[in-house]
C-alpha cells in the first residue's frame, strides 16, 4: 500500500511547539560557522598521531626522524604458533624439526623481514648466509630470544616477583619518531636529544640503568616520566600524558633495518624491555653483524656501559 503524506501548515507547526528560524538568524549561524576554528588534527590512535601536533623544527633539532612501520601480520601469527601450544598448527622450537619449520615458514611468509633467530653450523658458528638452510645445524642455531619469549621471561617491568610479559608487535602499523644517527658512524655519532636528557652527546657508553633513571621515576613500566623527560615532550609541542620516549623494540628495529641499514656494523643496539634470568633482570640488546645482525638478540647487565652498545630512542604516541 502506498504511503500517505499529510501537509501541515507553518501555523500548525508553531502551535505544536516548533520554533521557526528567521532568515536573519540563519545568516548569523552561517557567519559563526565560518568563523569557527578548523577541525582538530588527527589525535593519537589515527594513522599518524603526530600530524598537526609535533613541532617539526624542534624534532629536527633533536635529531629525530619520522618513520612508518609496516605491519607484518604473518610474522605475528608465526610468533603465536610458538606461544600458543594448544593451536593445531603450533610449532615446537625445542626440536630441530620445529626450528626448521619456523625458519622456512618465516622466510616464505616474510621474505623482507629478518627472523628473530640466528642460523649456525655444527660448530655453533654463525653462518654468513642467514637466508637459506644450507649448512644449518638447527640444534646449534640461536633461538634464545624466541625461547625466552615463549617462557614469558621477556618482561616490561623490573619486579622479579611479578613480571609483566612483553611480546613483539609485528602486526601493528605505526608512525614513530626515531633518533636518526647512522650506525656506520656510531663511534663519532652524537645526539642533541641525549645531550639534553643525559648531558652526554655520545650514543654509546651509556648503561641501561642510567638511561632508565633519566627517563622514568621508579619502575619504567609505571610510565612516570622524570621532569626532564616531560619537558622534552612539552618542548616538542606534545602532551606528556599522550607521548613518551623509550628504547626501540626488537621488532621495530627489524622492520626498519632495510631502509635504515641497521645491523651492518659491529654494533649492538639496546632494545626495549628486559629478560629475567633467575632473580636478576637484564637489559636486551642486539643487531651486531658478527653475531647474526638484525636477527640476534642477547642480554647484558643493566649497570654496564659499553663502547659497542648504542642507544636509539623512539618517540611514540601512547594514547
pLDDT per residue over 122-159, tens digit each? 999 999 999 999 999 999 999 999 999 999 999 999 99
Examine the pLDDT at 1 and tell me if it is beyond 90: no
Q: Is 32 within a domain?
A: no
DSSP type of residue 253: H
The whole-number pLDDT of residue 187 equals 77
Which three three-digit cell numbers place residue 55? 613541532
pLDDT, tens digit, 9 for 90 and up, residues 285-295: 999 999 999 99
Residue 308 is part of which domain span?
A: 56-317
pLDDT, tens digit, 9 for 90 and up, residues 231-265: 999 999 999 999 999 999 999 999 999 999 999 99
Closest CA to 74 of 170, 143, 149, 174: 170
Examine the pLDDT at 14 and tell me if it is beyond 70: no
Strands lying side by side in the sheet with 313-317:
64-69, 174-179, 313-317, 243-247
The whole-number pLDDT of residue 33 equals 40
Q: Average pLDDT of 111-115?
A: 96
Poorest-pLDDT segment among 74-78, 218-222, 228-232, 233-237? 218-222
For residue 198, what are the CA distances in angstroms to 144, 193, 209?
Answer: 32, 8, 12
The whole-number pLDDT of residue 35 equals 41
User: For residue 121, what are the contacts with CB-CB under 8 A and spacing of at least 6?
Assistant: 127, 135, 136, 137, 140
Q: How many domains does the chain have?
A: 1
- Between 293 and 41, name the one with better pLDDT: 293
Q: Is 16 within a domain?
A: no
Q: Is 21 within a domain?
A: no
Distance CA 278, CA 195 (A): 35
Percent of the chain with pLDDT over 70: 86
Distance CA 61, CA 84 (A): 45
Q: Is 48 within a domain?
A: no
The segment with the largest mean pLDDT, out of 8-22, 42-56, 165-179, is: 165-179
Poorest-pLDDT segment among 20-34, 54-68, 108-122, 305-319? 20-34
Examine the pLDDT at 224 and tell me if it is beyond 70: yes
Residue linked to cell 594514547? 319
Average pLDDT along the chain = 89
Q: Is 46 within a domain?
A: no
The whole-number pLDDT of residue 3 equals 43
pLDDT, tens digit, 9 for 90 and up, residues 169-195: 999 999 999 999 999 877 789 999 999
- Between 188 and 11, name the one with better pLDDT: 188
Cα dihedral sign for 229, 213, 299, 201? Answer: positive
Q: Is 35 within a domain?
A: no
What is the number of other CB atoms lying within 10 angstroms of the CB of residue 195? 14
The reported pTM is 0.84
Examine the pLDDT at 5 and tell me if it is beyond 60: no
For residue 295, what are the CA distances in angstroms to 103, 200, 262?
Answer: 11, 29, 11
The whole-number pLDDT of residue 9 equals 55
Examine the pLDDT at 44 and tell me if it is beyond 90: no
| DSSP 3-state of 284 | strand
End-to-end CA distance of the chain: 53
The whole-number pLDDT of residue 186 equals 77
Q: Is 19 within a domain?
A: no
Distance CA 145, CA 116 (A): 7
* Angle 255-257-261 from CA coordinates, rounded to 5°: 160
Q: Is 9 within a domain?
A: no
The alpha-carbon radius of gyration of the chain (Å, integer) is: 26
Distance CA 112, CA 210 (A): 35
Distance CA 116, CA 127 (A): 15
Amino acid at each position: 500500500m502506498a504511503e500517505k503524506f499529510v501537509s501541515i501548515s507553518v501555523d500548525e507547526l508553531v502551535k505544536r511547539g516548533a520554533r521557526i528560524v528567521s532568515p536573519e538568524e540563519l545568516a548569523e549561524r552561517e557567519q559563526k560557522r565560518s568563523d569557527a576554528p578548523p577541525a582538530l588534527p588527527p589525535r593519537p590512535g589515527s594513522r599518524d598521531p603526530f600530524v598537526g601536533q609535533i613541532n617539526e623544527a624542534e624534532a629536527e633539532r633533536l635529531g629525530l626522524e619520522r618513520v612508518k612501520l609496516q605491519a607484518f601480520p604473518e610474522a605475528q601469527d608465526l610468533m603465536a604458533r610458538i606461544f600458543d601450544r594448544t593451536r593445531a598448527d603450533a610449532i615446537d622450537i625445542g626440536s630441530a624439526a620445529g626450528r626448521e619449520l619456523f625458519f622456512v615458514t618465516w622466510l616464505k611468509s616474510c621474505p623482507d623481514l629478518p627472523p628473530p633467530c640466528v642460523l649456525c653450523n655444527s660448530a655453533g658458528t654463525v653462518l654468513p648466509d642467514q637466508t637459506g638452510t644450507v649448512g644449518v645445524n638447527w640444534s646449534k642455531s640461536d633461538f634464545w630470544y624466541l625461547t625466552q619469549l615463549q617462557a614469558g621471561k621477556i618482561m616490561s617491568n623490573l619486579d622479579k616477583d611479578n613480571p609483566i610479559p612483553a611480546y613483539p608487535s609485528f602486526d601493528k602499523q605505526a608512525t614513530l619518531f626515531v633518533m636518526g644517527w647512522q650506525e656506520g658512524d656510531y663511534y663519532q655519532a652524537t645526539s642533541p636529544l641525549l645531550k639534553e636528557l643525559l648531558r652526554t652527546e655520545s650514543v654509546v657508553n651509556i648503561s641501561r640503568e642510567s638511561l632508565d633513571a633519566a627517563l622514568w621515576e621508579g619502575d619504567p613500566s609505571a610510565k612516570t616520566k622524570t621532569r626532564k623527560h616531560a619537558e622534552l615532550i612539552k618542548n616538542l609541542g606534545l602532551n606528556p600524558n599522550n607521548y613518551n620516549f623509550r628504547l626501540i623494540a626488537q621488532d621495530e628495529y627489524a622492520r626498519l633495518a632495510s631502509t635504515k641499514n641497521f645491523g651492518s656494523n659491529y654494533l649492538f643496539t639496546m632494545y626495549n624491555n628486559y629478560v629475567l634470568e633467575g632473580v636478576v633482570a637484564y637489559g636486551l640488546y642486539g643487531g651486531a653483524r658478527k653475531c647474526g645482525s638484525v636477527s640476534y638478540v642477547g642480554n647484558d647487565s643493566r649497570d654496564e656501559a659499553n663502547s659497542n652498545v648504542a642507544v636509539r630512542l623512539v618517540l611514540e604516541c601512547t594514547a
